[in-house]
Structure 1
Amino acid sequence: MKQYLIDTTLRDGEQAAGVIFSLKEKIRIAQMLEELGIHEAEIGTPAISIQEEKDIKTLVNQGFNFDMLCWARATVSDIMAAKRTGVKRISISFPVSDIQLAAIGKDYDWVLTQMETMIGLASNHFEFVGIGAQDASRANPNFLRSYISKASCLGVKRVRFADTVGIMNPFSVHEMIATYRNLFPMMDLEFHAHNDLGMATANSIAALQAGCNSIDVTINGLGERAGNAPLEEVAAAAKFSLNQNLGIDLKNINNICSYIEEVSQRKVSQTKPVTGELITSHESGIHCRSILNNPMTYHAFDPGEVGKKSQFVIGKHSGVASVLDALAGMGIHLSAEEGKKILPKVKKLASSKKQSIDKNELKELILKQ
C-alpha cells in the first residue's frame, strides 16, 4: 500500500489567525513543496473570495508535478467556485459530530441527503472527489460508519478523518483507523491531525501504522490554534522511527521551513523537533565527549539527514573535550592538562553571564592566562 503526505499549508496553514500569503508567496511555497517531493497539496478554498479563486487558478496553471486539490463545503456555490479554478480534484467537507451539526442546525439525515447531491454534482466536474468527515474524532461511531458506507456506494475514492480539535491520542487514532481499514478495505483513508494537545505528529504516525493511506501536514505545523501536524516532523518520524520513506527530501527541509516562518510571521521555537535552530546543539561535557567519538551517541538520527550538523555550545556544563575542540577550530591547540586548567574559568564566566560563551570570549580567557 502506497502511503504519502498531503500538504495543506496553502489551505489549512493559511487559516492560522492573522496569516495571509501573497500570490507570489503561494507560488514560491508550491515550488518548494515540489522540490521537496510532495505527492499532493491542498492549494486553497476558492469560496473565500474572488481573489482567492483567481490565485488558485494561477497556481493550477503553473503546472506543478504534484496533484492539486481544493477544499469545499457541502454547497453548490463552493463546488462551482472550485470548478472555475480548473483544479481537477476536490475534497468536500461535511460535519459529522453532533456538536458540529447542532451548531449549524443540521442532522444526520441532512448529511446523507446532501452528500448524495453534492457528490453527484462534483462527479460531473472533477476527476477525483474525496469527502471529509469534519470532527470525526467526536462523531457517533455508528453514524460515521453509515457516512463512509454511503460515500463508498456513491463512488467516493477517499475519506478524510479529521481530528478537528486535536482531542485524540495515538491509541485512539490507531484503533479508529484500523477499524475503518478493516470495514472498508477498498477505500483510501486520510488522516488530518490538529495539535491542540501536542500529539499531532504522534497521532499521524499512529494513523500510518494503522493503515492510513495519506496524512495531512503543513510546513512548521502552521494552522489554526496550536496548528497541524508538521510535515517535517511526520516525514522524519516515519523515516527514523518507522523506517519508512515517504519520499520527502529532508536534507533541504530547512529552506522551506525558514521561508514559511518568514512569510507567515510565526516564529518557530529554537528547539522545535527536526528543524529547530538548537536541536543539534550540545553543552554537556559527557555528551560532547561521546559525540566527538561517534555523532550518533546522542542523536536520534544523523543531523546531516536534515541538513544540519552537531554543534557544541561552551558553557557551565561543558567538559574539557568540547572546550579543546572549540579552541582547535580557532587554530589554538592545547593539551588535556591545559584544558583542565581553563575549564573552571569557562564555567565561572558562563555562570556569571547566565548563558553560554562565544568563541571570542573563550579566546580571551586563553590570552589572559
Structure 2
Amino acid sequence: MHKSQLHIIDTTLRDGEQAPGVVFSLNEKLKIAALLDEAGVKELEVGMPMMGENEQAVICEIVRSGFNFESTCWGRATEEDMLAAEKTGAGRMNISFPVSDIQQRAIDKDRNWVMNRIRPMMAFARQRFDFIAVGAQDASRADTSFLHEFISTCLFYGADRIRIADTVGTLNPLSTMDLFKWLNTHFPGFDFEFHGHNDLGMATANTVSAALAGCSSASVTVNGLGERAGNACLEEVVAAMKVSAQTDCGIQLDKLQTLCKTVADLSWRKIHESKPIVGEMVCRHESGIHCRSLVKDELSYQAFNPKDFGRETELVFGKHSGSGGLNHFLRSKGILISKEQLTDVVSRMKDAAQKAEKTMDFNEVLMLLK
C-alpha cells in the first residue's frame, strides 16, 4: 500500500448496525455491501458471528457473493467467538481486548487476564484465519505503559494490524496526533488502524489527524451510523483526505450520494440537511454576494467541485438574494429582462420571501415577472 493512501475499512454492517433500533435484513446488507464494493472500499467488517446461526448465515452469504473487498469478522477474545467466525468462511478476524482499566473492571477482568489471553487467542486464530487484527478497545483511555506492553505482545505473537479504538470519543485532533506519533515512534512501519467514535463531535477530525500522523488504516461507517453519537463518517473522512489533505483513499467520490442515501433509508436515520458532503443544503446557496461569485467560479464559496461528488451547485432565491445571481439564473432559462425590471423583481422577491419565511422556487420567481 502506498504510504500516503489511507486504507478504509467500513464497519456499517457491524458497528453501524449496533446503533439502537437499526436492523438490516440479508438483502439490505447485500445491497449496502454491493454499493460499498462499487465505491471501491477494500475491506468490510461484516458482522459478529457469535450472535448466532442467523448472523453466521448472513455473513456466509456476503463472503461468498463474489465481492472484491476483504471480509472481516469481529469477536471477543474467546475460542467460542472465533469458532463462530470460522463457520462463515471469512478470511479475517478482529479480536477485541479491553485495554483500559475501566473496561476491564466492567467485565470483572484485569490487566493480567488480558496479557495471559493474548498468546492462546493468537495461536487459536492463526490456525483459522489468514489475517488477524487485534482491537485495543478503549485504547484512548488506557495506561500508556500497559498499551505499549499489550501491543508489543500482540506483535510478538503475529498480529497483522492493531486497532486503536477511541471507544467513547474522548480524543481530540491534537491528542490523536500525539498518540499516533508515539505509536509510530515505538512501532515504526506497523499497520495501525484508528476507530473513532463521535461522542464529542470529533470522530472525522480525529480520523484525519490519525492519518496525518502516520496511521495507515481507519474504520468508518456510512453516515457515521453507530452507537450513541455514531462513528467517523466514511464520506466525510474520504472527502477531507482528498480536499484538505490532498490524499486519495481510493474511493469513488461520485458514488457517495447513492451509498449514503441508501443507508439512511435502510437504517431509518434521516440525513441532516446540512450534513457535510451529502446533506441536501451543502451545495445550495441563497446569499447574493455568494451567488454572484459562484456564477464566475464554483470554488469561490465551496470547498470542492460538486460534480466530483455527483452534485450540482444550486442557486435558490429568497430574502438574502441579489440581482447578480437572479439575473444569471433567468438568463440560463432564456429569460432576458431590463435592469429596472430586475431591480423590481428582486425587491418584490425579498418581500415575498420575508413574509413566507422560506426560499422561492423557479415557478414562484416566474410569477413575479408577470
Instruction: Give TM-score, length-normalised by structure 2.
Output: 0.98
Q: 1:232 aligns with which of 223, 232, 235?
A: 235
User: How far apart are the structure 1 equivalents of 2:240 and 2:231?
Assistant: 15
- Matched with 2:316 is 313
- Matched with 2:169 is 166
Q: 1:126 aligns with which of 129, 154, 175?
A: 129
Query: How many aligned positions are there?
Result: 367
Question: 1:354 aligned to 2:351?
Answer: no
- Matched with 2:37 is 34
In structure 2, the gaps of 5 or more residues are none
1:60-99: CA deviation from partner (whole Å, max 9, x where unpaired): 1112111110001011110100001011100000011111
- Matched with 2:210 is 207
Q: Determine if contact 1:152/1:187 at 8 Å carries over to the other structure.
A: no
User: How far apart are the structure 2 equivalents of 1:74 and 1:115?
Assistant: 8
User: How far apart are the structure 2 equivalents of 1:255 and 1:177?
Assistant: 33
User: How far apart are the structure 1 equivalents of 2:41 and 2:77?
Assistant: 27
1:26-66: CA deviation from partner (whole Å, max 9, x where unpaired): 11111111110011110001011210011001111112111
CA-based RMSD: 0.9
Q: Which structure 2 residues correspond to residues 282-297 of structure 1 after superposition, within 5 A?
A: 282-297=285-300
User: How far apart are the structure 2 equivalents of 1:203 and 1:46?
Assistant: 29
Q: 2:141 aligns with which of 114, 138, 143?
A: 138
1:135-164: CA deviation from partner (whole Å, max 9, x where unpaired): 001001110000000001101111000000
1:324-368: CA deviation from partner (whole Å, max 9, x where unpaired): 23333443221333211211100000000111112121111111x
Q: 1:110 aligns with which of 110, 113, 128?
A: 113
SS class of match (1:71): strand
User: How far apart are the structure 2 equivalents of 1:70 and 1:135?
Assistant: 19
Residue type matched to 2:367 in 1? E
Residue type matched to 2:304 in 1? F
User: How far apart are the structure 2 equivalents of 1:226 and 1:243?
Assistant: 28
Question: 1:90 aligned to 2:93?
Answer: yes
Residue type matched to 2:215 in 1? C
1:10-29: CA deviation from partner (whole Å, max 9, x where unpaired): 10011111000000011111
Residue type matched to 2:121 in 1? M
User: How far apart are the structure 2 equivalents of 1:333 and 1:292?
Assistant: 17
Q: What percentage of residue pairs aligned between the two structures are identical?
A: 46
User: How far apart are the structure 2 equivalents of 1:191 and 1:156?
Assistant: 16
In structure 1, the gaps of 5 or more residues are none
1:293-320: CA deviation from partner (whole Å, max 9, x where unpaired): 1111111111111111110110000000
User: How far apart are the structure 2 equivalents of 1:221 and 1:336?
Assistant: 48
SS class of match (1:238): helix
User: How far apart are the structure 1 equivalents of 2:6 and 2:21?
Assistant: 32
User: How far apart are the structure 1 equivalents of 2:214 and 2:364?
Assistant: 54
Residue type matched to 2:278 in 1? T
1:153-211: CA deviation from partner (whole Å, max 9, x where unpaired): 10111100000001110000000011111101142100000011111110000000011
